[in-house]
Structure 1
Amino acid sequence: MDYALLISRLGNQIREARIRRGLTQAHLGELAGLTRQKVIAVEKGTQSVAMSAYARVLSALDSELVVVPATMPTLEELGDLFE
Structure 2
Amino acid sequence: MNTQFSRSGKNIDTPSDIEVIAHAVREARLRHGLTQTQLAGLSGTGLRFISELERGKPSVAMNKVVAVLAVLGLRLSVNGDPS
Per-residue deviation at 1:64? 1.2
In 2, the alpha carbon distance for the partners of 1:40 and 1:53 equals 13
Higher-Rg structure is: 2
Secondary structure at the residue paired with 2:34? Answer: coil
- Alignment match, 1:63: 74
Query: Given the alignment of the two structures, is residue 40 of structure 1 paired with residue 54 of structure 2, yes or no?
Result: no
Structure having the larger proportion of residues in strand = 2
Pairwise CA RMSD: 1.5
Letter in 1 for 2:38: H
Structure 1 stretches lacking a partner, 5+ long: 70-83
Query: Given the alignment of the two structures, is residue 6 of structure 1 paired with residue 17 of structure 2, yes or no?
Result: yes
Structure with the larger RCO, 1 or 2 (CA within 8 Å, 6+ apart):
1
- Alignment match, 2:4: none
Structure having the larger proportion of residues in helix = 1
1:21–1:68 distance in 2 versus 1, CA, 3 Å: farther
Taking only the aligned residue pairs, the percentage that are identical comes to 36
- Give the alignment's TM-score, normalised by structure 1: 0.75
Deviant stretches of 4+, over 6 Å? none
Structure 2 stretches lacking a partner, 5+ long: 1-11
